[in-house]
Amino acid sequence: MSSLEPPELLELNSDQQQALLALVQQLKNGQAEQTALIQKLNKTVLTSRTLINELITAQTDMKEELAKLRNSSVSGECQTCNNKRDAAVAISSVTDKSRTTDDLIETLIEGRTRKSQWPVKTNAVGSFSNDPDLTKIRFHHSNRYQHIPIRIAKTEKNKDGTKPCKLCSEGKIRRKTTWMCAVCEIPLCTKPLPGEESSTLTHFALWHSEKDLGPTHKRCFEELKGGRESRKKAKIENDESSELANV
């Protein structure tokens, strides 16, 4: 059996070599364009998936919000009504006491932001009562700076979008809220405490109507603490009664 002879290599002239090199370059360019197109398609798919997830999350939040509005009625008043009433109380309070301008409030907030002192995270009650600049911010109201309840943003670290109310919480005894003041950026309760009448001013309204927040904070904290202790005691008594009934 004879061995196969290797094929003869064609000799190409310079024109043919240039044409072949041009063809190879076209193939490389085509592959690069194809790769770029695939990457662009992948990015579009990821963007679409992100958008779909955001829409699903928004729809879920809307459903939860509707459920809260349906279930949060207090003596015939819905949460939205309470918030509007709180905003009205805040507006009437700060309008009477304010002698400031929007430019001044902007300057005060920007100055504190540059010093990493805004929003106020520690000793909010004392700071907003005793610091003249923070008092001006708390009692200034205009079309630009409206003291109205807004939702606390959900973040990676705060997935449920809640924070302790600054007017009634202290130490381990806390009452979480999903609302904060749009101007002060302070989390505040917008519902009366359990057992309180619906006409009682909420902690949001009290924050914007009391000049000295110290005594108000103390009273709100004692009410929160006392209410929880009473409910805990009542539960223990009910459990003991149930045990005796089953003996």
In a domain, 220, yes or no: yes
In a domain, 54, yes or no: no
More confident residue, 12 or 30: 30
Q: Which residues, 6+ apart, have CB-to-CB distance to 105 below 8 Å?
A: 136, 137, 140, 145
- Give 22-25's long-range contacts (Cβ < 8 A, gap of 24+): none
Summarize the confidence of residues 221-226 as an average pLDDT. 94
In a domain, 23, yes or no: no
In a domain, 122, yes or no: yes
Q: Considering the entire predicted model, what is its pTM?
A: 0.61
pLDDT digits (tens, 9 = 90+) for 144-176: 999 999 999 999 999 999 999 999 999 999 999
In a domain, 97, yes or no: yes
In a domain, 128, yes or no: yes
pLDDT digits (tens, 9 = 90+) for 120-145: 999 999 999 999 999 999 999 999 99
Which pLDDT value is given to residue 87?
59
Range(s) of the domain holding residue 222? 77-239
Confirm if 147 and 183 have CB atoms less than 8 A apart: yes
Which pLDDT value is given to residue 90?
57
pLDDT digits (tens, 9 = 90+) for 75-99: 444 555 556 556 555 555 554 444 7
Q: How many domains does the chain have?
A: 1
Q: By C-alpha distance, which of 104, 112, 78 is closest to 191? A: 78
Q: Residue 200 above 70 pLDDT?
A: yes
